[in-house]
Structure 1
Amino acid sequence: MAIAQSSPKEEQHQQCHGGRGGWVFQAIAMLVATAVTTQAAYRARREPWDLAFVLFSYADLGLLFLCLSVYERLPPPPLEEVQEGDSGDDGAAVRWRLKMVVWALSTALSVAFAWRVAAVMPAPAMKAALWGMTSTVAVAGFYLLFVYRPVTISSSEMDTCKHKQSSPKLDQMV
């Protein structure tokens, strides 16, 4: 009988990123979303646009959860900054595509909710403010996911999850 053993690097990754229990939260969240969607779809069954909105929101949220769960299971990217095309790492291409899909799904969900809320807004200025905020969120999300490059952190700074460096004063308070 073979026993699967994980490497120390995988164990550290699981400790720092929540281990294997994340599926429970995702399952509960999807069950709640399914129950709420079923109730909303039943109430909207005679209004085609309302029903389409409910079903689109549910499908978009489900796909968003799925993509985020796949993204979280990918191995972490290397610490060194590598020029595009030089790494030969298929994981980088998959991470980039998943980030693009996550951005598109979250933007579509934001736009759908803004569209529904704008339909009931009384003043044109309020509608403009709503669409301005939605556009700002979409553009800022794109910038943070694809344009912004944070400063590279050294491997000694990355070990803070493993060594739990905190101040003695904070330990006394806790």
Structure 2
Amino acid sequence: MAIAQSSPKEEQHQQCGGDGGGWVFQAITMLAATAVTAQAAYRARRAPWDLAFVLFAYADLGLLFLCLSMYERLPPPLEEVQEGDSGDGAAVRRRRSWLKMAAWALSTALSVAFAWRVAAVMPAPALKAAVWGMTSTVAVAGLYLLFVYRPVAIPSYSEMDTCKRKQSSPKLDQMI
């Protein structure tokens, strides 16, 4: 009889609270969002633009949760990126990039939709400009942080794990 043994990385992941009940939290969150959306859609049933906004926000949020969930399930990034790698590492990197782009696009679309609604009720043009300015700043900052900014080199991604925080290097402590 064979006994299944897990790797030290899997054991640490389980000790740190991984795979414990994340799907339960996601399911409860989506049920709550569905209930709120149904109530808002019922109230907006006679105003087509309001109903479109409610349904768009719900669909966008659902897709954003899906992208983030898929991104979290990807394996951790490799320490070194090799040129011309056409194996699984390249596929994971491509999937990671596509999911980051999708998450940024969905979150930006949601921000723009809310800014559009908020700016519509602002009494002064300066307040409308402030709403659009803040939304633009968030969108551009997200684009920069996700795709342009490269953090200081870390000796190992495993040192970033919060469960190993006490064992991490002094250089990592300075960064955090």
User: 1:65-93 CA deviation, whole Å, 9 max, x = no partner?
Assistant: 1110110011000123x266446421010
Q: Is the 8 A contact 2:79 2:157 kept in 1?
A: no
Deviation at 1:165, TM superposition (A): 1.7
1:162 and 1:68 mapped to 2: Cα distance?
22
In structure 1, what is the Cα distance between the partners aligned to 2:117 and 2:46?
A: 17
1:115-162 residue CA offsets vs partner (Å, 9 max, x unmatched): 000110000000001100000000000000000001121239707644
Structure 1 position 132 matched with structure 2 position 98: no
Measure the CA separation in 2 of the matches of 1:159 and 1:53: 39
Letter in 1 for 2:118: V
Take 2:61 and 2:74, find their aligned partners in 1: how far apart are those partners? 20
Q: Secondary structure at the match of 2:59?
A: helix
Q: 1:63 to 1:118 in 2, by over 3 A?
A: same
**Aligned residue type for 1:96:** S
Do residues 96 (structure 1) and 97 (structure 2) align?
Answer: yes
CA contact under 8 A between 2:64 and 2:107: conserved in structure 1?
yes
RMSD: 2.4
- How far is the alpha carbon of 1:8 from its aligned partner? 2.1
Q: What is aligned with 1:70?
A: 70
4+ residue segments displaced more than 6 Å: none
Distance 1:157 1:42 in 2: 48
Letter paired with 2:53? F
What is the TM-score normalised by the length of structure 1? 0.84
Are 1:67 and 1:98, in contact at CA under 8 Å, matched by a contact in 2?
Answer: yes
Matches within 5 A, 1:24-43: 24-43=24-43
State the partner residue of 1:22: 22
Structure 2 gaps of 5+ residues are 168-176
Shift of 1:26: 0.6
Letter of the aligned partner of 2:155 in structure 1?
Answer: S
Q: What runs of 5+ residues in structure 1 fail to find an aligned partner?
A: 167-174
Q: Output the TM-score relative to the length of structure 2.
A: 0.83
Distance 1:156 1:144 in 2: 18
Q: CA contact under 8 A between 2:159 and 2:165: conserved in structure 1?
A: no
| Count of aligned pairs between the two proteins | 165
Per-residue Cα deviation, 1:27-80 (whole angstroms, up to 9, x for no partner): 111010000000000000000000000000000000001110110011000123
Contact 2:115 2:135 (C-alpha < 8 Å) held by counterparts: yes
- In structure 1, the residue matched to 2:119 is 118
